[in-house]
Chain A
């Protein structure tokens, strides 16, 4: 393969790049988000400077992604910490678990989404919208929410605002000698968000301490509310908010 063809590759491996060039459009992307009160000191510890914490509420999300362009069909779970960057409200994505290589590798390598391989599921079991997460064979998280209790609400502007809020990630890529090659705070905003349905309701959340999947490090003091959303949206490239290697 010629050198100029190498430079045009979107990703490794050369013979079958793991992910194509973005942006990436998602259809019927389904969320279960459970907001909960936690320990503010644990939030401060988990949030990288110069991000600033706001309040004591964080979220655990389950995502079912049946149709992700370039990525396929998969499921994910994430922990999200609301914060501000220079006064702007953002969501810091602190942990993510997926069961599919293209979003795992593309997520880490392009935007610095903190993805690991975990088995998340989001489904309706009887009367309960149920999210589960298994990591390394063990059950580490379960979120449950009532199913479509406010079915006739038509104002979804709050949900659209939430999904359109800037996401922030901490992108870390080592150099071949082990020193940092990339250490950045990255910002990304979903585009062309279409809400197809949104519901709120009672929810509960259980997190089990696990060293390599430590969502329980932000302990659940009390679950405040559940949010269930179905959406189409586009994940574009992002931009550097802060570069830790530039003095």
Chain B
């Protein structure tokens, strides 16, 4: 394999790259988001400076079903998102993510720093209940339940699509081959070309079980705020660096 070919490879392995070049298009992506209030002190500990956690102590626990994702295939994801401020701008910080498909794990970690691990999330309608579960290393660590399409969201689908362009950010860490940090950045991206196909509000409950390698219960539930269920087509593009811990760090 020639040097010119190597430099054009989108990812490892050279014999069959895990993921192609982005951006990535998702069709019929289905979300269930249960929002809750947690302990503010705990939130402060898991949000990296210079991000500021939201003062209300709000946390979003998500399940996302992705049946048709260009380059990635058919998979399901579950995780925790924390609304934060970066220099006064509202951003969503992804704290934990679990999924059942390797290309989006590798691409997620290596391009955008999504904190992804392999696990078995599921999102399905079980008789009258929209049900999300997450099994990590064989154990059930999270279960979210929501009433099924009790009420359409009051906002228009166009407004909901606009809300989804909010900046998201991750902490990207890639070590060097000698074990020192090579990349340590807060990176940001914005979803594009969003079409919301339906959105509903319903009562919801969330159960989180303490587990050391999938510590979803480290942000304890003080109060459930509500459940959101929506379906959208969208594009995940490349992003930008917000803060570089190696270069921007004051001595």
Which A positions have Cβ atoms within 8 angstroms of B?
1-4, 6-7, 9-16, 18, 21-22, 45-49, 79, 94-96, 100-101, 104-105, 108-112, 114-117, 170-174, 176-178, 180-184, 186, 188, 211-214, 217, 237-240, 244
The number of chain B residues with a CB under 8 A from chain A is 66
Which residues on the A side are within 8 Å of B2 (C-beta)? 49
Docked-complex contact B21 and A178, CB < 8 angstroms: yes
Which residues on the B side are within 8 Å of A110 (C-beta)? 175, 177, 179
Give the interface SS of chain A, mostly helix, strand, loop or mixed. mixed
Task: From B14, B182, B241, give the contact of A170 (CB < 8 A).
Answer: B14
Docked-complex contact A212 and B16, CB < 8 angstroms: yes
Q: Report 7 cross-chain contacts, Cβ distance below 8 Å, ordered by A residue.
A: A1-B49, A12-B113, A16-B214, A22-B179, A48-B14, A112-B12, A176-B187
Docked-complex contact B215 and A15, CB < 8 angstroms: yes
Docked-complex contact A95 and B15, CB < 8 angstroms: yes
Which residues on the B side are within 8 Å of A188 (C-beta)? 177
Q: Is B162 an interface residue (CB 8 A)?
A: no
Given contacts A14-B48, A173-B174, A214-B15, contact A244 B6 (CB under 8 A): yes
Docked-complex contact A10 and B118, CB < 8 angstroms: no
Closest 10 CB pairs of A and B: A114-B13, A13-B115, A117-B102, A12-B115, A101-B118, A178-B238, A114-B12, A238-B177, A176-B187, A48-B1
Q: Which of B25-51 contact A (CB under 8 A)?
A: 45-50
- Residue on B with the closest CB to A188? B177
Which B positions have Cβ atoms within 8 angstroms of A?
1-3, 6-7, 9-16, 18, 21-22, 45-50, 95-97, 101-102, 105-106, 109-118, 171-175, 177-179, 181-185, 187, 189, 212-215, 218, 238-241, 245-246, 249
In the assembled complex, the Cα of A48 lies from the Cα of B3 at a distance in Å of 7
